[in-house]
Amino acid sequence: MARAAEKCPQRDNFEDCVRLFDAFGAPTIVQEESGLRYFFNEFWTAGQRQGHALHEVSYRACFKPQLPEFFIDRLTSEGESVYDPFMGRGTTPLQAALQARRPMGNDISPVSLLLTRPRLNPPTLDTIADRLAGVDWSRGASERDDLLAFYHPETLRQICALRRHLLRHAPPNAAVDPALDWIRMIALNRLTGHSPGFFSVYSLPPNQAVSVEAQRKINEKRRQIPPMRDVAGLIVKKSRALLSQGTPPSHPAPLLSTAPAWRTPLVADSSVDLIVTSPPFLDVVDYAQDNWLRNWFAGVDAKTVEISAHRSVEAWMQMVRDCFCAFARIVRPGGHVAFEVGEVRRGAVLLERQVWEAVEGLPFERLFVLVNRQEFTKTSNCWGVDNNRKGTNSNRIVVFRRR
């Protein structure tokens, strides 16, 4: 987190605040290129696990909580509304709640809602343990023998028993017991991973579920057999870790929805003070494939989730413009949008330039592109994401102010 002295005295001075930022010892570099102003610096730390413990939920292609924290701290006050129309694991809404703002979020994937909602108002550990004790762990047999590539037979039986209990007593789209909602969220994040803290045998990192066939190949290569896991015990352990730093302070009631980002019927006109978001990039991540196992556990029919894949720059730009047409309705005059994009196709496409062009003629003042210089994480390198290679090379945030 930046020093308090770096906070803007008022929002109209946000550009000066960014220009003069030196919280980590280096001055901001300002450059002009192709009609865009760029501000380069280390605006937030690249260190791992320096956000609140509640953020430690895995989801592929998510940004660090320090990114929304930077903008929330400087562009909003307590009680104001912060929205992410592509919320993913819910980083922006959760950070808004942690800073006593109103958390607002949306995503086309129902799994996103299930990952976000429980952490905004978490239950107590005692309540979690009580609800786990109410599960009939002996009920029935496993439902999918192909999943034995990931799980010990007894572990799979427990997973299936928990899945049936949740589908019966906590349907995903209904108002549910917060503790059961939390338990489902934890289970969705413990399904597969690469340590004994997950339900599965060693697999790829938990932000991507490999196929059954791919897991069989991993097992063969590593000569491994899925070990027995205590599902309830692992849920309690992960719950204790997430709650180790406490829960969010009192904040306005959240508003969460499941819809395309360019259709926001639940969000009132001029009700949003700040949007911090990152849309899907060009042909970088296959969200449906990554979440197939989570969809199964949650009872989500992936065929009903119309996740867009924009293979051309032109199609992606149209999606961005559609989103900003919606943002023009919901962001109040004087409010801001921080739109995070990245370099794709080995740096041949700089998406901030497409965003800049796509917003032409809409009621937004195009301010600048903030570039956060950082070192890459282990997870990024695991996927072959590095400088001058595929994937996202840096945080590049296009900043707008609503006229």
Q: What is the pLDDT of residues 223-257, one digit of tens each?
A: 999 999 999 999 999 999 999 999 999 999 999 99
* Model confidence at 385: pLDDT above 60: no
Last residue of a domain, one of 215, 242, 269: 242
Residues 180 and 320 placed together within one structural domain of the fold: no
The DSSP secondary-structure symbol of 20 reads T
Residues 279 and 237 placed together within one structural domain of the fold: no
Q: Cα–Cα distance between 22 and 41 in angstroms, integer? A: 8
In a domain, 298, yes or no: no
DSSP H or E stretch at residue 117: helix 110-120
pTM score of the predicted model: 0.91
pLDDT confidence of 382, banded at 50, 70, 90?
very low
pLDDT confidence of 380, banded at 50, 70, 90?
very low
User: Taking all residues of the chain, what is their mean pLDDT, rounded to a whole number?
Assistant: 88
Residues 372 and 264 placed together within one structural domain of the fold: yes
Question: Where is average pLDDT lowest: 45-59, 75-89, 349-363?
Answer: 45-59
* Model confidence at 389: pLDDT above 50: no
Q: Give me the residues paired with residue 395 across strands.
A: 372
What tokens does 217 get?
């190949």
Question: Where is average pLDDT lowest: 133-137, 139-143, 281-285, 333-337?
Answer: 281-285
pLDDT confidence of 208, banded at 50, 70, 90?
confident
Q: Cα–Cα distance between 13 and 207 in angstroms, integer? A: 38
Q: What is the pLDDT of residues 140-182, one digit of tens each?
A: 778 899 999 999 999 999 999 999 999 999 988 777 799 999 9
pLDDT confidence of 108, banded at 50, 70, 90?
very high
Of 40, 91, 99, which Cα lies nearest the Cα of 73? 99
* Model confidence at 358: pLDDT above 90: yes
Q: What is the pLDDT of residue 312?
A: 86
The count of structural domains within the chain is 2
Q: What is the pLDDT of residue 180?
A: 97
Q: What is the pLDDT of residues 331-347, one digit of tens each?
A: 999 999 999 997 666 66
The DSSP secondary-structure symbol of 389 reads S
* Model confidence at 1: pLDDT above 60: no
Residues 224 and 326 placed together within one structural domain of the fold: no
Residues 355 and 267 placed together within one structural domain of the fold: yes
The pLDDT of 15-20, averaged and rounded, is 91
In a domain, 385, yes or no: yes
Q: What is the pLDDT of residue 239?
A: 98
Q: How many CB atoms lie within 10 A of CB 367?
A: 18
Where do the DSSP E strands lie in 267-384? Answer: 272-277, 331-341, 343-344, 349-350, 364-372
Instruction: Name the most confidently modeled range: 61-70, 89-98, 274-283.
Output: 89-98
Residues 183 and 312 placed together within one structural domain of the fold: no
More confident residue, 370 or 265: 370
Q: Cα–Cα distance between 307 and 303 in angstroms, integer? A: 10
Residues 315 and 388 placed together within one structural domain of the fold: yes
Q: What is the pLDDT of residue 46?
A: 61
Q: How many CB atoms lie within 10 A of CB 20?
A: 12
Residues 257 and 393 placed together within one structural domain of the fold: yes
Q: What is the pLDDT of residue 47?
A: 57
**Cα R_g (the chain), whole angstroms:** 21
Residues of the domain holding 181: 125-242
In a domain, 220, yes or no: yes
Question: Where is average pLDDT lowest: 120-124, 267-271, 371-375?
Answer: 371-375
Q: Cα–Cα distance between 346 and 125 in angstroms, integer? A: 46
Q: Cα–Cα distance between 131 and 129 in angstroms, integer? A: 6
Judge contact between 298 and 110, C-beta under 8 A.
yes
The DSSP secondary-structure symbol of 177 reads -
* Model confidence at 386: pLDDT above 60: no
DSSP H or E stretch at residue 380: helix 378-382
Backbone dihedral region for residue 202 (phi beyond 0: left; psi -120 to 50: alpha; all else: beta): beta
Q: What is the pLDDT of residue 391?
A: 42
* Model confidence at 395: pLDDT above 60: yes
pLDDT confidence of 381, banded at 50, 70, 90?
very low
Pairing assessment for the beta strands 29-33 and 36-41 based on DSSP bridges: antiparallel
* Model confidence at 393: pLDDT above 70: no
Q: What is the pLDDT of residue 245?
A: 97
Q: What is the pLDDT of residue 8?
A: 64
Residues 27 and 132 placed together within one structural domain of the fold: no
CATH number of the domain encompassing residue 30: 3.40.50.150
DSSP H or E stretch at residue 295: helix 292-298
Residues 261 and 238 placed together within one structural domain of the fold: no
Residue 166, SS3 per DSSP: helix
Residues 327 and 398 placed together within one structural domain of the fold: yes
Q: What is the pLDDT of residue 379?
A: 40
In a domain, 225, yes or no: yes
In a domain, 120, yes or no: no
The DSSP secondary-structure symbol of 290 reads H
Tokens 């934890």 correspond to 186
In a domain, 82, yes or no: yes
Residues 278 and 259 placed together within one structural domain of the fold: yes
In a domain, 301, yes or no: no
Last residue of a domain, one of 242, 274, 296: 242
Of 65, 125, 113, 52, which Cα lies nearest the Cα of 294? 113
In a domain, 375, yes or no: yes
